[in-house]
Amino acid sequence: MKDPTMNDPEIQKLIERSWRRPLSAEEQAHLDAWLTAHPEKQALWEDESALSTLLRQTRQTHPSSNFTALVLQAVQRESPISRPTLPWTRRWFPRLAFVGVTMGVITFTVYQHRLTTRAEMAESVATVSDQMAGLRPEWLQDFEAINRLGQSDD
């Protein structure tokens, strides 16, 4: 266990050696001197030492030669791979694609129709404005009277 506060490389090497084997008398003396200078690290070292001792006392076992195969079989039995429902996508995807393309064509057609209608309207407004440019305002002075005469004949 690396402690960020134990950043002395020599002490860290001693701790790592204690994981593999008991420390020699010289190494232990060096570590004891360091722990005397840093009493706040004493509890951490005791935990580290106790853990190393317990790990050395455990029985070393080697996994069987087919351990990986057994683990993989157990995993496959517990959680089968779920695949997406391909028949559903194969059945609905062409229909959805057709609907999407149809909607695109309809939208494009309506847009083109509106553009054409606006262009025709702009052209007719331009024609009327050209024709109105030739009219004189005096001609429209009696428009109300002429319009009433036309309505009274009915």
User: How far is the C-alpha of 29 from the C-alpha of 82, rounded, in Å?
Assistant: 60
Q: Which pLDDT tens digit goes with each residue over 91-100?
A: 888 899 999 9
Q: What is the mean pLDDT of the chain?
A: 83
Nearest C-alpha neighbor of 34 from the set 53, 15, 54? 15
pLDDT of residue 75: 84
Residue 2 CA to its chain's centroid (Å) = 35
User: How far is the C-alpha of 154 from the C-alpha of 150, rounded, in Å?
Assistant: 8
Task: State the pLDDT confidence band at 114, using cuts at 50, 70 and 90.
Answer: very high
Domain ranges, ordered by start, for the chain: 9-57, 99-154
Given a cut of 70, whether residue 7 has pLDDT beyond it is no
Given a cut of 60, whether residue 5 has pLDDT beyond it is no
Q: Which residue has the higher pLDDT, 115 or 34?
A: 115
Q: Which pLDDT tens digit goes with each residue over 9-42?
A: 888 888 888 888 888 899 889 888 988 988 888 8
The angle at the Cα of 84, spanning 78 to 90, to the nearest 5 degrees, equals 155
User: How far is the C-alpha of 34 from the C-alpha of 23, rounded, in Å?
Assistant: 14
Task: State the pLDDT confidence band at 85, using cuts at 50, 70 and 90.
Answer: low
